[in-house]
Each structure stands twice: as C-alpha cells, then as structure tokens.
Amino acid sequence: MASSDNKKPAKSPVCIITGGASGMGLAVAEHLWQLGWNVTIIDVNEESGKEIAAAHGDSALFFKANVADYEELSGTFAKTWDRWGRLDAVFGNAGIGDRISFYKPQPDRADGTPPKPSTAVIDIDLLGPIYCAYLGFHFFRKNPDKSGKLIFTSSMAGIYPGPTIPLYTAAKHGVVGLTRALAQQLREVGEPVTVNCICPGLVHTGLTKIYSFTTPEEYITPVSTIITAFMRFIDDSSRTGQAAECSGENIHYRVQPEWSDDKAEFLGNGGLAKAMKQHNVKLY
C-alpha cells in the first residue's frame, strides 16, 4: 500500500529510532517522549518493544524489524508516515558486536579454504545506517520544508582502532565516513537536512555488558551524555557532518583530518566534482 502524502501532519515532531527497545535508543526515546515527541521504535526484541510502546499510548509505535533487511525497514518508515504524516528525525542506533574471532585459525573445507565468516556486524552496524539515511532522505523530502535530522550511533571504535573487534571497528569507521560524506554533499546542494553521529565510549547497555562490568565506573559514559549529544544535534541546525565523541561526561567534536596537501583537497573537497561537472562526466 502506498503511503499517503495528503494526511494532515501531527502537531508534535516525529522521530524513528532503530534499536529503540533498550540501551541508548530507549533512553533517547524516553527523553523525546518527555518533550512531547511522537516516537517509532524499531527493534528485534518484540516483547520489550510492545511493552514500551503500550506505556506511551498514542505517541508511540513499535515495529519488529531487522535493519539490514531493506523491505522490513522501509515498511516501518511508511507506516510511521501513514500514522503521523511527518518525519523530523531518524536515529540510526541499532548495533551488534563482532560475532567471530577474526584471528582464530579456521579448519579447511574440502577445497582448502576456510568457512565463510559472519559479517552480520557489517550488515547491522553499517548497512543499517545506510538504509536509514536512504529512507530518511526520502521521507524528509515529503515534509513541507523538506527538512530533517539524521543521527547515527557510531562508536569510539569509529575513531580509534579496536584490535579485538576489527569488523565492528570497520563498520563504525564507515558510519563516521558516511556521516561526513552525506553532510558535505547535502550542504553543498542546499538541502535542509543535517547528518551527524555520536561516538560513545563504554555505556551500560546489553551490547557492552561483557566489557562494562569489568570496567571501573569512572571510565563508563553515562547515558545522559548520549542524550545531551543527541539533543544538541536536534536543536542546532548549524551542526552537520560532526562526530560527537562521548567520553564520560565529556563531548568532544572530532573534526576530519586536515588535507595533507592541495592534491588531496582537490580530490576530496569539491575540486574533482567541479571538474567532472565542467566536462559533463557523471558517475550515475
């Protein structure tokens, strides 16, 4: 069923949160409900998700969906639009950790190669945000002012190497790169959509409990820091392309590395794109 674009929009703003039934996603959702927002939470934990949504009545929706499954995820965006007729923010927060030891010696298969490794962490932690961005842009453009706020959960592992979790590190670095690339292009073409990411340290969540219970409390980042970083991105439309590293109660805005020389700046800061345009060369 096609979503309706003619429905009168809800008076209160609307946010979609993936991984919203626990941890940081739930904390942000609860804060938004306190501020009068409507919130759709998306999670694979159906029991918790339904209980949370029921507790917030007409201002909440819950959908069970795998963020790495485009059809499942796109359906939740369409149903959110059908319910409220607007979309103001998307928090691409769902995530998992590495499912394998990448360094462990593996047995040979019949042809002498090792078994295929699990790349679920790439699917959830990077493909999920890509789908959130793609869908978010589509529905933001249906708003009368075509505006929206897209916020991802990356990680400190998106800034620093995580030697024991290399695939998670790769995915979270990808989220930071995605954030910066999307924000730069949208800014250049004048679309009123901001794109930012949050890079937390250790927060007490289901994902990190294997680490956090062994970590001194002074090295844990409280969820209140995550909420503060999130709301700064919501409230300030001048912030875009930023990676907010949340370390304890501190928030550090990590800028991209400086251009190494004029050649690097030409390639990455619009020079190549302008040259291609002048010669009518198109990528797609």
Ranges of H-type helices in the chain: 23-34, 46-55, 70-84, 120-122, 128-140, 166-189, 209-212, 223-235, 262-268, 271-278
**Is-catalytic flag, 168?**
yes
227: three-class secondary structure by DSSP: helix
Structure tokens at 100: 């394998």
**Overall size of the chain counted in residues:** 284
> Are 86 and 13 in contact, with CB atoms under 8 Å apart?
yes
Candidates 168, 209, 219, 274; catalytic one: 168
97: three-class secondary structure by DSSP: coil
Q: Strands 243-247, 250-254: parallel, antiparallel or unpaired by DSSP?
A: antiparallel
Identity (one letter) of the amino acid at 136? G
Phi-psi region of 115 (alpha: psi -120 to 50; beta: other; left: phi over 0): beta
Ranges of H-type helices in 59-124: 70-84, 120-122
Candidates 7, 172, 263, 274; catalytic one: 172
Q: Which of 144, 127, 147, 145 is nearest to 136 (CA)?
A: 147
Distance CA(166)–CA(173), nearest Å, equals 10
Beta bridge partners of 89: 15, 149
Other C-beta atoms lying within 10 Å of the C-beta of residue 144: 7
**Is-catalytic flag, 142?**
no
Catalytic residues: 168, 172
